[in-house]
Structure 1
């Protein structure tokens, strides 16, 4: 099947572990002819900061053709980042002649061009997904009432007859689509985020653990927590660091990977320096994240939701994470401990619960490595979207 993945509603970062990377990867692996049409919006690999890729066409590391396109109306300035009207979207679809279009995100005006193509080419099916929820979108009145409830809603409603299915990543994403855009439940289906399970090397786990811990000067019998990602204030890294400081245990270690946003970077680095049990390793390539998970015992994310949660679960890690409405699905049978609020004592008690109960720790690991691995594997997820 000829499949075009459209990444025009948001960013597209080459060689990362996001859905926009991995579903196309497994579609290609399963024998489909795949093209990605993406915006220029990306992030730098060395520090995780926003960046713009060059317009043009290239073949990525998975052997997939990627076409980067720019905005059509430069005079709109910053408004382009909200409206998202691109150069030649319809013509590119005419050239690629897809049988299936997977639209990653529905919040862009060129959705109308995509719907027009599908209407004019009834042999092509259009599916889409929605990543937006109340925790990451429509967070102020102007965005909520004007951008989402009027502009995006009008576009989505006009395109809706051409869309076969809108996949939602979590219950919170379903609520957002229903309440903001008036899309009915029968048009939606769950499609969870996941992990590139091909990168998780359970067979060499012990060797990977020894190698990484040796480099980081961490003993094999230490209890290692790991956290990371795009470390903005909302990720609550400060809360985690201050909580760790209050746990008197030299065998407890914390690995932090990723990039701090500029507004908190200096403060966080100073906090890290205060505790020699904390190791900050900077930005990691997507495939390297899995090895560091295999070298750890517990994943902990006390702030906003990240795709790294599912990746940690697939790597066989118990998960301590902030409880968000509609995100409870990451608990697939006892692999998670939820933090009810931003309280140091709750974080400390959750860590101690696993640190002092090896039987519970092993039980949660087993659930993650078996049921979690199957639930959040992109190899399985990629097949779910094929009509």
Structure 2
């Protein structure tokens, strides 16, 4: 089949494992003719979001990528919010897709793909949404954009969409309230991950534990991300240090913001069981997740949580609505420091509970998060 992934309302980053990358990769692997049409927004030097030149090239996920510049008679900081691009209609006409996946509800070119769908009603048009009350319509300008710009665009295109695919329960609620989308037109379509078979999983686990000198019988906790106060790394380290098991280890993977760097350094220096590993690629992080025993995420949300379930990890994560489908007998939901500390202490008392929880995480991931299955869903 001929499939276009539009990443004009979001960034598209080569050599990463975000949802957009994974779905493109799975469609290419299945033998489909795949095209990615993206904005110029991406990561620059793997450090922070920035912008690259417009152009065409073969992307790291195996599909041709066309990057389109923002257009319009406005300053750049306005153009990147309006998300208007020249050439979308021509690309659609020349490529003649059978399936369109438009990533992100909020962008002008949603009108272009909706018109193409109206002119070609036999094709499938899926639009995914990552928006929720935590990341969208939070500031004054953002509220104005969502209410008076994005909402009318979305409303005008709704009748052309086959489904609005929402990455979380909070996203479903936000789309209903903010854009007036009928719940029957939405579908839960979470961020997913790669699920290794038993042999590959065990190989990853062995590789990771050997590489980091983790001994048999040691229980490894892992927290990853770009750490600021919202990630609650300080709270995790404080709770971990309240345990005394010599067989416990805590691995920190990522980058620490200067606002909390001194506290993290102090807590790490006071407990030799804590190790900071720095930034890792997505593939390196996956191996580390397989090597660990518990994934920690008591603060703001991250796609690494889904990756951890795919790596069979029990979890200690924030008690928020979006996490409800993912914690069912495979870990702890926590909403304050006492609950976080209690979760660590429960494992300290009986680490054997993690074996059954690991199997349960695998079952949840297989049911909800397998990108191979999710990519096939987009073809019907």
User: Separation in 2 of the partners of 1:281 and 1:153?
Assistant: 43
The two structures, once aligned, show a CA RMSD in angstroms of 2.1
What TM-score results when the alignment is normalised by the length of structure 1? 0.91
How many residues of Structure 1 are paired with residues of Structure 2 in the alignment? 380
- Whether 1:346 and 2:346 are equivalent positions in the alignment is no
Distance 1:338 1:231, change over 3 A: same
**Correspondence for 2:20:** 20
SS in 2 for 1:116: helix
**Correspondence for 2:222:** 226
User: Separation in 2 of the partners of 1:287 and 1:161?
Assistant: 39
User: Separation in 2 of the partners of 1:45 and 1:245?
Assistant: 35
2:166 pairs, out of 165, 168, 173, with 168
**Correspondence for 1:358:** 351
What TM-score results when the alignment is normalised by the length of structure 2? 0.93
For structure 2, list consecutive stretches of 5 or more residues without a partner in the other structure: none
Deviation at 1:297, TM superposition (A): 0.5
SS in 2 for 1:151: helix
Deviation at 1:210, TM superposition (A): 4.2
User: Separation in 2 of the partners of 1:90 and 1:157?
Assistant: 20
Residue-by-residue CA offset, 1:52-100 (whole Å, 9 max, x unaligned): 2332111123321111111113732212232111232222222222111
Is this contact kept in 2: 1:205–1:295, CA < 8 A?
no
Deviation at 1:337, TM superposition (A): 0.8
User: Separation in 1 of the partners of 2:194 and 2:26?
Assistant: 9
User: Separation in 2 of the partners of 1:100 and 1:282?
Assistant: 40
User: Separation in 2 of the partners of 1:229 and 1:90?
Assistant: 38
User: Separation in 2 of the partners of 1:281 and 1:74?
Assistant: 46
Distance 1:240 1:49, change over 3 A: same
**Correspondence for 1:283:** 279
**Correspondence for 1:182:** 180
Is this contact kept in 2: 1:17–1:196, CA < 8 A?
no
- Whether 1:313 and 2:309 are equivalent positions in the alignment is yes
**Correspondence for 1:59:** 58
**Correspondence for 1:30:** 30
**Correspondence for 1:159:** 157
SS in 1 for 2:16: coil
Distance 1:249 1:357, change over 3 A: closer
User: Separation in 1 of the partners of 2:257 and 2:79?
Assistant: 24
Q: Which one is further off, 71-80 or 315-324?
A: 71-80
**Correspondence for 2:365:** 372
